[in-house]
A and B are shown apart, each in its own frame.
Chain A
Amino acid sequence: DGGITQSPKYLFRKEGQNVTLSCEQNLNHDAMYWYRQDPGQGLRLIYYSQIVNDFQKGDIAEGYSVSREKKESFPLTVTSAQKNPTAFYLCASSKGAGRTYNEQFFGPGTRLTVL
């Protein structure tokens, strides 16, 4: 089955710890994205990558880091510098490369709770 997977579905961490969220896709998509969703806030872009070994900051990148060493994988690290990390994190991918029709496919999300 082709798709985009995120793990784990629920994650609990203590304050001050870094945590890495996994995102994998087998759709052969060039572009990948990380969003944060808070109640009433919609989806806010954290980081995105249009090609392997390259990524750009989104609107709320502070306190987060990413890597794109492989086309299939785009892990997100929530660092201890992120002041309010508890949220629902969504990963997405799209065909990318500036195509006109460029729908995004979302993973099931990871709900992170920092205690």
Chain B
Amino acid sequence: GQQVMQIPQYQHVQEGEDFTTYCNSSTTLSNIQWYKQRPGGHPVFLIQLVKSGEVKKQKRLTFQFGEAKKNSSLHITATQTTDVGTYFCAGREGNRDDKIIFGKGTRLHILP
């Protein structure tokens, strides 16, 4: 079945440094979503990428979808303490089934 792998599992960065998390699927995806979960909270949707090679930006966050639609990345420039949390990617194979498969997430710690 479909698997979504996410690395790294944990990342500690100094405040102001950049951060990147990577997501890889065993199968071609129709789209990929990214979510953020603050400590003690629930996942909140950040963005969805649909097109091959798509790049989207949200302020300091840059999201990419690979050309083969099997991998994706989230890059945060100049991290801030508000970026703390776990970032999940979630991939969807087809467009008819609403099921998506979540990666295990990358937990980001910011050192002041």
Contacts and interface: CB of A to CB of B under 8 A. Distances in A.
Interface residues of A, number: 30
Given A45-B99, A56-B99, A96-B98, A102 B42 contact: no
A19 B49 CA distance: 38
B99 A106 contact: no
Interface stretch (A20-28, A35-43, A68-76, A78-86): A35-43
A107 B44 CA distance: 10
A77 B30 CA distance: 32
Interface in B39-86: 41-45, 48, 50
Contacts, number: 64
B44 A106 contact: yes
Contact of B45 (A40, A90, A105): A105
B99 A40 contact: no
A104 B43 CA distance: 9
B99 A108 contact: no
B102 A42 contact: yes
B103 to A, nearest CB: 6
Contacts of A107: 42
A10 interface: no
Interface string A83-105: 00000001010101110111111
B42 A42 contact: no
B104 interface: yes
A28 B102 CA distance: 24
Contact of B103 (A42, A59, A94, A106): A42
B98 A94 contact: yes
A64 interface: no
Contacts of A33: 99
B42 A106 contact: yes
A58 B100 CA distance: 10
13 contacts: A31-B98, A40-B104, A42-B6, A43-B88, A45-B99, A98-B97, A100-B30, A102-B31, A104-B33, A104-B100, A105-B45, A108-B42, A109-B42
